[in-house]
Amino acid sequence: MSFLDKLEKRYGHWAVPNVMLGLIVAQLAVYALILGGMLAFGAMLLIPSRVLGEGEFWRLITFIVSPPKIAGGALSGLFLAIFWYILWMMSQVLEAAWGAFRFNLYLLAGIVFTVICSLVGQLISPTAPIIIFPDFLYLSIFWAFALLHPNMEFYLFFVLPVKVKWLAMLTGVFTAFTILFAGSPGAALAELGPVLNFILFFRVAMLESLRTKQRRVAHAHAVKERAEAPQHICARCGATDLSDPEREFRYRMEGGEAVCICDACRED
């Protein structure tokens, strides 16, 4: 029994089914309060300098229920609604595949990693401007979904069909560049939360996928070598069915062994 199985057996009754729907509803409620002027969008985000320097500890929680952004128009609002729908859809698929407890644990681990990385990053680089938006947190959910369903297609700009695995690779490259060019070690560390969460849960699956690809490449190479290798080699002149395809090759017993002889050597 794996460690996760033991955790689920002991604490599985604490799992919250359809937890992402609850978070999205909370984000919608916060979004309405922000539009109504009762909340400030900036007051909800995770800004570690404010947490450590000014004691604004609520940011450790409120960034989870903060909307990803405030729409500036109808089109921006449409894309925000699509973001929420896709996030809910992906969470439903993951929860159905793993069960509520494991999905809850994956989401919670992502939150914890994000908070720890941002706080430690701010301590490492006190002057670094670090701001964590909630959509960055859900990168690990997107990568997990892409790993489970790599060939599912999303329609980019509602027109261009793109497989999820290519979008995941694109966001992975973008995240890598963001980390490499963060400007300070602390800011780079703050970006690592979703990456660490994904690696923690999927390191075994990624290693197995890599081994499978290596075995597939090795098998294809072996098949190619067999296809390119001669099937018949004359024991006398060394001619093969590849070097001299017009020749006929026969086998006969010599000294208890089958020996290949081409027709040219048989005539000699």
**Residue ranges per domain, the chain?**
3-202, 228-267
Rounded CA-CA distance 87/89 in Å is 5
- Look at residue 46 in the predicted model and tell me its pLDDT: 87
Out of 1.10.4160, 3.40.1710, 3.30.2320, 1.20.1540, the CATH code matching 3-202 is 1.20.1540
- Look at residue 145 in the predicted model and tell me its pLDDT: 87
pLDDT along the chain (268 residues), means of 10: 70 80 88 85 86 87 84 74 85 86 88 89 86 80 85 72 82 85 85 84 71 76 73 79 79 79 75
- Look at residue 209 in the predicted model and tell me its pLDDT: 65
Distances (CA, A) of 120 to 49, 114, 131, 180, 236: 11, 10, 13, 17, 75
Long-range contacts of 81-84 (CB under 8 A, 24+ apart): 83/135, 84/24, 84/27, 84/28
213 close to 158: Cβ distance less than 8 angstroms: no
- Look at residue 206 in the predicted model and tell me its pLDDT: 65
Q: 3-state secondary structure string, the chain? A: CCHHHHHHHHHHHHCCCCHHHHHHHHHHHHHHHHHCCCCCHHHCCECHHHHHHHCCCCHHHHHHHCCCCCCCCHHHHHHHHHHHHHHHHHHHHHHHHHCHHHHHHHHHHHHHHHHHHHHHHHHHCCCCCCCECHHHHCHHHHHHHHHHCCCCEEEECCCEEEEHHHHHHHHHHHHHHHHHCCCCHHHHHHCCHHHHHHHHHHHHHHHHHHHHHHHHHHHHHHHHHHHHCCCCECCCCCCECCCCCCCCEEEEEECCEEEEEEHHHHHC
* Residues making up the chain, counted from first to last: 268
- Look at residue 268 in the predicted model and tell me its pLDDT: 59
Q: Is 132 exposed, middle or buried (0-12, 13-18, 19+ CB in 10 A)?
A: buried
- Look at residue 15 in the predicted model and tell me its pLDDT: 77
131 close to 122: Cβ distance less than 8 angstroms: no
* Closest CA relative to residue 83, chosen from 42, 41, 24, 33: 24
- Look at residue 56 in the predicted model and tell me its pLDDT: 86
- Look at residue 16 in the predicted model and tell me its pLDDT: 81
Q: At what angle do helices 100-124 and 74-98 cross, to 10 degrees?
A: 120
